[in-house]
Amino acid sequence: MADFAASCQTLDYQIVDVFTETALKGNGLAVVFDTIGLTTERMQAIAREFNLSETTFIQRRDADTEKREGVRVRIFTTLEELPFAGHPTLGTASVLKLSAPETLAGDTITLALKVGAVPVRFRDDSLFGEMTQRDPEFGTQLDLETVARLIGLRTDDLHIASSPQVVSTGTAFAIVALRSHDSLARLKVEQEEATRYLREHGGRWFYVLGPTGGDNPAWRARMQFYGGEDPATGSAAGCAISYLVCHGIVAPRQQIHVQQGVEIGRTSDLFLAADIISGKVSDVRVGGSTVRVAKGQLFLP
């Protein structure tokens, strides 16, 4: 084994769980260090090897460049590279805070993603971080009956205040607000037909959420994709709070607590807020905690 490792390129990695304070909850993320020179194909293969929702690849640059632009990070699912994703952004910034504290500027680490610079601000000495996402772009409003059928629910399960809508803060989701979180138990997205329908209207996946009727948590959410389910979707959560504030369902600057992943035993806690500035939704913030789970090395021939 030692001889084999000596003949290979070695890359350090860490695994963290994001949007949780408890290991083996939240959404798992693999973070790989020192990946300059790796091809896109090799990164994609490594992401398939980890087989988590996402894997990130840190590509450090000189200090002046990082101060201006942020730490360059690329994000991959098992199938493709993404320009932006929420739990990889928060989780990678948390790993950098612990492993490369020089990347902190005060209480903030900025990541240079394909979608642009995304700052993550940390609370005190904790690993609770809050990312500020891009201002939202509001796309097509979707037909209520069609959406209900595609997600396996009834039209009267959906919130009456507004139609489902495609929203993007870097990745486009179709946001579906329900009258109550109780309907989430029956959620069953018809993936093939839903994918075709959403592509026609500029979206990628449905993000479905409903209020609990209580203060803690205020909302529950689910996101089914790739034939499975995501324990926490920070990018979609930014789109969701933008939608809720835009349509007057949540007040500007009001923070809401969303739990996701309950149905698959990976409960995640996301804290969301957005404002309206000069008549437009802005200052979209998604926060949560990260906990370290494992670290190791990859041996690449």
pLDDT digits (tens, 9 = 90+) for 75-113: 999 999 999 999 999 999 999 999 999 999 999 999 999
- The DSSP line for 138-164 is EEEEPPHHHHHHHTT--GGGB-SSS--
pLDDT of residue 5: 62
* Average pLDDT over every residue of 18-30: 98
pLDDT of residue 160: 81
- Domains (range + CATH), the chain: 2-132+290-300 (3.10.310.10), 137-287 (3.10.310.10)
Token pair 């009456």 in the structure block, residue: 160
H or E stretch at 294: strand 280-300
Alpha carbons 81 and 292: distance in angstroms, whole number:
24
CB atoms closer than 10 angstroms to residue 222: 25
CA 221-199-201 angle, 5° bins: 85
pLDDT band at 1 (very low <50, low <70, confident <90, very high): low
CA separation (Å) from 213 to 12, 110, 220, 274? 45, 36, 10, 21
pLDDT of residue 159: 92
pLDDT digits (tens, 9 = 90+) for 190-203: 999 999 999 999 99
H or E stretch at 165: strand 165-168
Burial class (CB in 10 A: 0-12, 13-18, 19+), 100: middle
Q: For 143-157, 210-224, 249-263, 283-297, which range has the lowest pLDDT when averaged over its residues?
A: 210-224
- pTM for the whole structure: 0.95
Alpha carbons 164 and 233: distance in angstroms, whole number:
18
Identify the CA nearest to 30 among candidates 51, 45, 10, 9. 51
* Average pLDDT over every residue of 232-247: 98
pLDDT of residue 52: 96
| pLDDT > 60? residue 2 | no
pLDDT digits (tens, 9 = 90+) for 208-226: 999 998 767 799 999 999 8
